[in-house]
Amino acid sequence: MGGLSARMADGQEAGRQEAGPHAAWPALEAQIERSADLLLHAGAVERDGRAVLFPGVSGVGKSTMTAACLSCGFGYLSDEAVAVDLGSGHITGMPRSLMLTPWAVRALGMDERAGTGVGKVAVPVDAFGSEPVSGPLPVAHVVIIERGAEVTSVERVPAGEILTQVLKASFNHYMHGARAWEAAARLAQEAQGWRLASADPRSAATAVADLFPPR
């Protein structure tokens, strides 16, 4: 697996960190103040050269949703954070092992021994038959995850709500002023926005796959 080289505002690259079980965005806290990109707290997967973005706070189900999509044949960008290019609005992800709760591992039909660690378990990307995908990629869909539904369903949401969710998920929009707002607005306008009411990870991933034309 590869790592991510984040771009700094001064044009330099941060140290490259390989994606291991506990890999994180390379020195994320230090980079937030220097990054040339808009950094989002989000999961992301790829199909047909386009990305699906799952913005949200910790605990909303980004990693579980990402893992379920990988099992449905999507490529992997990140289960935790992505960088949005301020010029193009395209995203680059962080290809680390996925950090899943024991509940998520069971819900995905995996043997808990596939992961390691206490609390959340680290599951390598290839356990899902997927692999990391290089960015930057255009965003086709932005999906707001809502868990606990009796039946999985998706519904369109307006660009304004997607813009709100993207900005709420941002680590550093305040650093880039109007350019960050413009990049987030462009992403919200060009991507299709959806609210995903999830009854279980597998049916939710199928619903996300159905957003794309049949292969």
What's the pLDDT score for residue 203? 96
What's the pLDDT score for residue 30? 64
95 pLDDT above the threshold of 70: yes
DSSP-derived 3-state class of residue 136: coil
DSSP-derived 3-state class of residue 37: coil
Element (H, E) at 156: strand 153-156
What's the pLDDT score for residue 27? 54
State pTM to two decimals.
0.84
- 19 with 146: CB under 8 angstroms? no
Average pLDDT (126-141) is: 94
Q: What is the DSSP letter of 174?
A: H
What's the pLDDT score for residue 146? 95
Q: What is the DSSP letter of 132?
A: B
The amino acid at 138: P
The full set of domain ranges for the chain reads 3-209
Bridge-based pairing of strands 139-147 and 192-198 is: parallel
Which has the minimum average pLDDT: 25-34, 133-142, 188-197? Answer: 25-34
Angle at 185 between CA 56 and CA 188, to 5 degrees: 55
